[in-house]
Amino acid sequence: MVTNMVQTSQVSIPRAEYPRPDWQRADWMNLNGTWSFSFDHGNLGNAEGWHQVKGKSFASEIIVPFSWASPLSGIGSNEKGIAWYSKEVQWAPAASESRLFLRFGAVDYKSDVWVNGIAVGSHSGGYGTFEFDVTDAWALEGSNQIIVRAEDYDHDYQARGKQGYGEIRGIWQPVWLEARPQNYVRDSKFNTSIDGTIEIVTTVIANKSGSAELAFAFAEGAVTHLVEAELSEGTNVIEAVIKVEAPKLWSPESPYLYEGQIVLSSNGQADTVSTYFGIREISTALVGDRSYRWITLNGKPVYLNGTLDQSFHPTGFFTYPSDEEMKNEIHLMKRLGLNFVRIHIKPEEPRKLYWADKLGILVMEDMPCFWGDPDDQAKQSYESEAREIIDRDYNHPSIFSWVMFNETWGLKTNSESTSLTTDVTHPNNFLPQTQEWVRSMYQFAKQVDPTRIIEDNSPCNYDHVESDINTWHFYINGYNELRAHVSEVVEKTYRGSTFNYIGGNTQSDAPLMNSECGNVWGIDGGAGESDLAWHYRYMMNEFRRHDKMCGFVFTEFRDVVNEYNGYYRLDGSDKLFGYEWYVPGMTVADLHTPDFVVIDAPPCQTLQAGAHLAIELLGSSFSDRYHGQELQLSWELWHDNLGTRIVQASGNEAVNWTGYGVERLSALSLIMPDQDAVSVLAVRLLTADGIVITRNFVTFDVRSQASRGKYAAEGRIISLPAAGYSESTFPISWNALQDNKANGGGAGRFTYQVELPSVSEQAAIYDIELAFEASSKRLLKRNVEGSIEKQHDISYMHGALDEPEFNPNTYYMTDSERHESKLSILIDDELVETFILRDNPADSRGALSWHYQTVSNKLEEAGSYGYLCKVSLPSAVTAKLNASRSFKLELAADEGGLALYGRNAGRYPIDILVQSKGSF
């Protein structure tokens, strides 16, 4: 099967690959590239006959298939209204007597099309694919003119989805010509069973009646079937059943596709379509003696680690610039250990769905919503597009669920007077008759596609009506708050419960799954651009505590224009989570393993030095890979002592990994170190031969009673608070984290007056060492001009722009971009050491900056931390200080600035330490 067919003459045009690798013919012409273009602000084109003028060329040029609002189109104007396209084309099919079809991936919203002045068809709807038979209008010799009039006024009844990040106006998916015989296969729908039974329903359009053969050949001829049929003019439906011996099942771990061809032979002509199917079954099931269902894939429970994907790019908006980028999207998801993606409020481009099929990731695909009231016109428009979407994407094995609505958007009467997200004050705007329409849409989807999980509404208002899956949304920050919320939802989920349902409807035993979560909207004014690693780890840990939960959808895959809570930046660059600091080799993927060890404890606890503690562990299994095996639980309790890694205790315990679900493991008895430390419990689950299955950790802020702190260090220690400077010369300086952190922006210095032990306390001082935690300081606009708190209302769902540097919660998460500073250490004006502070980072390594946040829904430089800086003073300087017993310490930074972290900030539990060694 040729799935990346590109004609040699077309390699220079954008998106040159065949647009539908799931349904592909060989004789075609790509029409992407340059078209002439013009806005029609006065709606004059029809009256002036623009479609009838031979050789009509408009004043501007546009690059198809990109929305006229996007930069890649060459227009880059977000004007709504009417626009005209024109293209001169010369092309003839390879076979005589072929029928010629003009195909559009998608046009938003209403389109009228002419070929050589002849009207060939119209279409309404922004997301569905459509085609017109242009055989009778097409000149096989000479040039042909294609004219498209596109109209997009953002009417309330239009299914628009979440276009606000970038509007999809006009043609926004590929356009191509395609040749077919007089009799051709319109579509085939494959329903697969894991026993190898493949039921195929094929629709054939016949322009000439007569006998025909319909041949199926897949897996390089290993799977074949032949059907003889008698065709009548018009539409013919042919049903067939194929039995595949020893079927290879499709899954994210093994995404095997049966690639091949369907060939219709009739009247001396053959219509050959390259296509594929994957053998898999999606369902829900009661497992063991449970009263609640889990989602199953191929008859086995599957834990769904998923992310919300807006599928937005800054240049092409919702049209991917290249096929390679679509492929890379799936790769970037899988490297995180994710096994599914929710495509948000729209269907995905067919080629990206192909890569989901080919590389292996499950897809939850949403229907696009409208934003007005659910009147008759809106309902009719929605229903039409829903049919087109399900019909187009029916055969993708990656798609396991259709989501009919999201957060009751478009379902509220008098919607302008209500919030379109959380709607506590207007609960009755989701009217009973609209609820019944939602039920009918659920039942419609079940009827046309009984093979998939159907969700009526993915809710943030606890307003399901009827659904195969019981999901809910939440955006809550703070460990205690999140734990309580998730526990409450789990406790209220059972057959017959009215929780999470509306209108007197009650829960079935449908699987419980989260379908949106994160902390971006759980922060007052939004999280801005801040670390998500700390919150993410404990949220994953909390989810896996509950046997009843079978998955989640994290918001979101990439940052977008006003939400910065992605695993990746918008350009695909990495964010650094910092988990490897706690457990060597740990990445985000460790939080997504089917077999997982839950540490049933807060992310950080404050404990006294030497404290005894029992930590509960749970095993969570959604894979039978290790069932019946004896695994090894390896753990260690370690801490960093001024740059030296100290293992306080460790152990290995045998674990019988018995079956699906959550089971309690043996608790660990721990003794905290006898000093100030951020102590880390790191656990690993390993196979018998030492292969790591998963990793996890929690932390403890261990505190001594010593006023200056207690550390495993020689000599006497003097502790200087980071904010205890006597002078600051930075242009901008301030203290943060309850005065446990000192910030200096721009070039400047902090000065401290240090008093060493007196002669009576320490007779002689032979060595002096300094130790402190420091980073550069990246000044944000709010640091210079002050914070601006914006109301985060529904305009953000429509793409309202944000200025994150004015957001009071912003503190950039560590990523590949660095902010460097040069730090000089001076003793009594003498330079003794220089450091390069590589960055101003914030991620899970800033445990103390997270642990000592004062409120859960506001962030103050959360997760920020620095680098351990240690200085041994030169002997000549030490000799002077042995006599003077005091000195001036200056920490001077260049324009990169300086941040100093005290005892309750950063990742090291230290202030500025001065360690003097000598005789007493």
- Report pLDDT for 787: 64
What is the Cα–Cα distance from 660 to 26, expressed in whole angstroms? 47
What is the Cα–Cα distance from 714 to 722, expressed in whole angstroms? 22
Phi, psi of 477 (to 5 degrees): -105, 150
CB 282 within 8 A of CB 365: no
Q: Which of 899, 827, 844 is nearest to 867 (CA)?
A: 899
Digit-coded pLDDT (tens) for 480-494 = 999 999 999 999 999
Listed in sequence order, the residues at least 6 apart from 96 whose beta carbon sits closer than 8 Å to its beta carbon are none
Q: How many CB atoms lie within 10 A of CB 220?
A: 10
What is the Cα–Cα distance from 15 to 13, expressed in whole angstroms? 7
Angle (nearest 5°) at CA 40 between 36 and 44: 115
CB 629 within 8 A of CB 691: no
CB 530 within 8 A of CB 810: yes
Alpha helices in 594-707, H assignment, sequence order: none
* Both tokens assigned to 750: 């902090």
User: Per the omega criterion (within 30 degrees of 0), is the bond before 556 cis?
Assistant: yes
Helix axes 432-448, 376-393, angle to 10 degrees: 20
CB 614 within 8 A of CB 601: no
- Report pLDDT for 801: 67
pLDDT along the chain (920 residues), means of 10: 48 90 97 97 93 86 98 96 97 95 98 97 97 97 96 95 92 98 97 97 96 96 94 96 96 98 96 98 96 98 97 94 96 97 96 98 97 95 97 98 96 76 68 97 97 97 97 96 98 98 97 94 87 97 98 96 92 95 98 98 98 98 96 98 97 95 96 98 97 98 92 93 97 96 98 95 94 97 80 64 86 95 98 98 98 95 98 96 96 98 98 92
The side-by-side arrangement of strands in the sheet containing 629-641 is 604-608, 692-703, 677-686, 629-641, 644-657
Secondary structure (H, E, C), 274-293: EEEECECCEEEEECCCCCCE
What is the Cα–Cα distance from 170 to 108, expressed in whole angstroms? 5
What is the Cα–Cα distance from 529 to 804, expressed in whole angstroms? 6
Name the 3-class secondary structure at 691.
Answer: coil
Phi, psi of 2 (to 5 degrees): -95, 105
Q: How many CB atoms lie within 10 A of CB 281?
A: 17
Listed in sequence order, the residues at least 6 apart from 589 whose beta carbon sits closer than 8 Å to its beta carbon are 335, 336, 337
- Helix or strand (DSSP H, E) at 307: strand 304-309
Please, what's the b/e burial string for 304-323 (b: 16 or more CB within 10 A of its CB; e: otherwise)?
A: bbbbbbbbbbeebbbbbbeb
- Helix or strand (DSSP H, E) at 331: helix 323-335
What is the Cα–Cα distance from 514 to 823, expressed in whole angstroms? 46
| End-to-end Cα, the chain, rounded Å | 84
- Report pLDDT for 707: 86
What is the Cα–Cα distance from 625 to 195, expressed in whole angstroms? 21
Region of residue 828 (phi > 0: left; psi between -120 and 50: alpha; otherwise: beta): left
Name the 3-class secondary structure at 41.
Answer: coil
Helix axes 350-359, 323-335, angle to 10 degrees: 40
Instruction: Say how many CA atoms lie within 13 Å of 823 toward its Cβ.
Output: 30
Phi, psi of 273 (to 5 degrees): -120, 125
What is the Cα–Cα distance from 837 to 777, expressed in whole angstroms? 9
Q: Which of 219, 188, 217, 215 is nearest to 202 (CA)?
A: 188
* Both tokens assigned to 586: 């740990």
Residue 821, amino acid: S
Task: Determine how β-strand 340-343 pairs with β-strand 304-309.
Answer: parallel
User: Per the omega criterion (within 30 degrees of 0), is the bond before 320 cis?
Assistant: no
- Report pLDDT for 791: 63
738: exposed, middle or buried (C-beta count within 10 Å: 0-12, 13-18, 19+)? middle
What letter does residue 812 receive in the DSSP assignment?
P
What is the Cα–Cα distance from 321 to 14, expressed in whole angstroms? 7
Instruction: Say how many CA atoms lie within 13 Å of 256 toward its Cβ.
Output: 12
What is the Cα Rg of the chain in Å? Answer: 32
What is the Cα–Cα distance from 622 to 302, expressed in whole angstroms? 6
Listed in sequence order, the residues at least 6 apart from 99 whose beta carbon sits closer than 8 Å to its beta carbon are 133, 135, 179, 180, 181, 182, 184, 207
- Measure Cα distances from 478 to 401, 626, 681 in Å: 31, 34, 20
Strand partners, 830: 827
Residue position matching structure tokens 């055989």: 135
Please, what's the b/e burial string for 748-774 (b: 16 or more CB within 10 A of its CB; e: otherwise)?
A: bbbebebebbeeeebeebeebbbbbbb
- Report pLDDT for 498: 97
- Report pLDDT for 425: 61
* Both tokens assigned to 528: 């801005």
* Both tokens assigned to 8: 């040699």
Instruction: Say how many CA atoms lie within 13 Å of 382 toward its Cβ.
Output: 30
- Measure Cα distances from 411 to 378, 388, 416, 434 in Å: 10, 21, 12, 7
Instruction: Say how many CA atoms lie within 13 Å of 688 toward its Cβ.
Output: 7
What is the Cα–Cα distance from 28 to 24, expressed in whole angstroms? 9
CB 229 within 8 A of CB 214: yes
Listed in sequence order, the residues at least 6 apart from 904 whose beta carbon sits closer than 8 Å to its beta carbon are 737, 738, 740, 848, 851, 852
Torsion sign across C-alpha atoms 309, 312, 318, 321: negative
46: exposed, middle or buried (C-beta count within 10 Å: 0-12, 13-18, 19+)? middle
Torsion sign across C-alpha atoms 533, 535, 540, 545: positive
What is the Cα–Cα distance from 26 to 643, expressed in whole angstroms? 64
- Measure Cα distances from 51 to 108, 123, 147, 149 in Å: 19, 16, 6, 9
